[in-house]
Amino acid sequence: MVRADDIAGLLTLSALTGGGMTNLPNDRDALSEKIAWSTRSAETMPSSPQDEYYMLVLEDAPGGRIIGTASLYSRLGARLPFYSYKLGRVTHASSHPPRSFSTQLLFLVNDYDGASEVGGLFVHADARVAGYGRLLARSRYLLIARHRAAFADRTIADLRGYAANGASPFWKAVGEPFFGSDFEAADLHNALHGNQFIADLMPRYPIYTSLLPADARDAIGRPHDDSRAALRLLEQEGFSWDGYVDIFDGGPTVSARTDQIAAIRDCISTPDGRTVIADGPGRYISAQGHGPTFVATIEGAS
């Protein structure tokens, strides 16, 4: 679990994300607020999800250098409604002349209010080849397993959407006309303050995707190139995409029943109080501690 003295290492790590990660903003004050929120949440670990936030950090054991981070939200929509776009389809038909037309629409919804969320997964490039991203990702589920009552019955993950040359075609077509700012400025605001500003300014009516430019349509539900590995990990745990996308950049929102997430479903409790999940031949991830003392490690074959 993150500590207050991790701030310097997290700032260094955040400079490598390239933007677009609301859970790892390159801003000392914003990061300090998240660390403080995580600390308060870990110290209480309530018997039902309220409005908690937990930040995990991955340390390079020999030197203690922070090489990764991941986050969990216990309950979305506790402070403000959680907005998503839901893809739907409508078909129009005419008998004179005989013609039909089918297109997709984006509906602004709050379907995931009350769900838990895992996110903010980022691992330093030097550590990705060693499989540490998988350790960090699965440690989130072991935290849930060890404090099951503190999380909801459904869990989602909101992945970064596709961007080309630092710009989001989805934002340019859908958000920029209403917010009046380019992607870079909106991305910074999103990282520091969340995406509620988009929900406040966006139209409440469905958006016909056929009226969007081709590059914006192609970006709907498409993950950022750097998020594809994270998506594969989520799919391996049982998450699936049901047509929900992020209202900021159009990235996919995937979900799963919490008790059916593979790491939660298949983990076991040992007599000495650890929670363990197999993670390959002769290798497993072991978690121990509660709240602020929670820690997960890889054990066995490397």
pLDDT at 301: 61
pTM of the model: 0.90
Q: In this predicted model, what pLDDT tens digit does every residue of 52-65 receive, in sequence order?
A: 999 999 988 777 88
Domains of the chain, first to last: 1-77+115-152+267-302 (3.40.630), 79-113+160-251 (no CATH)
Q: Exposure pattern of 169-194 as b/e (b: 16+ CB <10 Å)?
A: bbbbbbbbeebeeebeebbbbbbeee
**pLDDT higher for 27 or 130?**
27
Active-site residues: which are they? 224
Helix (H, G, I), strand (E, B) or coil at 11: helix
- Whether pLDDT at 4 is above 60: yes
Residues 5-18: what's their mean pLDDT? 89
In sequence order, which ranges of the chain are alpha helices (DSSP H)?
A: 7-14, 28-44, 125-128, 132-146, 169-170, 176-179, 183-193, 196-201, 214-219, 228-237, 262-266
- Whether pLDDT at 84 is above 70: yes
Residues 37-49: what's their mean pLDDT? 94
pLDDT at 209: 96
pLDDT at 32: 94
Name the residue type at position 109. Answer: V
Helix (H, G, I), strand (E, B) or coil at 89: strand
The rounded mean pLDDT for the chain is: 90
Computed on alpha carbons and rounded to an integer, the radius of gyration of the chain in Å comes to 20
Q: Three-class SS string for 91-108?
A: EEEEECCEEEEEEEEEEE
- Whether pLDDT at 251 is above 80: yes
If you average pLDDT over each of 41-50, 76-85, 199-208, which comes out highest?
41-50
- Whether pLDDT at 179 is above 60: yes
Q: In this predicted model, what pLDDT tens digit does every residue of 160-178 receive, in sequence order?
A: 899 988 789 999 999 888 8
- Whether pLDDT at 246 is above 60: yes
Q: In this predicted model, what pLDDT tens digit does every residue of 141-164 receive, in sequence order?
A: 999 999 999 999 999 999 989 998
If you average pLDDT over each of 22-26, 47-51, 94-98, 226-230, which comes out highest?
47-51
- Whether pLDDT at 106 is above 90: yes
Q: How far apart are the first and last CA of the chain?
A: 23
- Indicate the pLDDT class of residue 95, thresholds 50, 70 and 90: confident
Q: What is the distance of C-alpha 240 from the center of its chain?
A: 13
- Indicate the pLDDT class of residue 19, thresholds 50, 70 and 90: low
pLDDT at 197: 75
Helices 132-146 and 228-237 meet at what angle, rounded to 10? 40
